[in-house]
Amino acid sequence: MKDYDQFTQWALKLQSLTQAGLHYGHDAFGKERYEEIRKIAGEMMQAKTGLPQELIKTLFLGDEGYQTPKIDTRAAIFKDDQILLVHEKLSDDWSMPCGWCEVHLSTKENCIKEAKEESGRRC
């Protein structure tokens, strides 16, 4: 994402955050706010590219669910002869810290973010 100018990065980040909010949010008022912000992100991209609104909706706003490159990462973190495992709430299992890759993060950055979020430890 570092190849994009700042304006485009903001629009992409806003769209990504609102898509996650729409997917995970359960509050009707929150969803309404996310829809409005997502619309603004689309308008930003339209202003930047000059593409027709319908094409922006299809290409930029058409995805549903948690927006990712559709890959996940797992962080193998060792200290001496131990490995960091976290408790998975949904499955009640133990695993290495993991999660969907964020659109704006590198693989390394995503591993660090997930390990910190899931373990509560500085990585």
Q: Which two tokens mark 36? A: 């409005």
Backbone angles phi, psi at 54, to 5 degrees: -65, -35
For 37-69, write each residue's pLDDT tens digit.
999 999 999 999 999 988 998 888 888 777 666
pLDDT of 14 > 60? The answer is yes
Residue 46 has a pLDDT of 94
Residue 115 has a pLDDT of 94
How is the chain split into domains, by residue range?
A: 6-59, 72-119
Work out the pLDDT band at 4, boundaries 50, 70, 90: confident
Q: Which two tokens mark 53? A: 């609104």
pLDDT of 32 > 90? The answer is yes
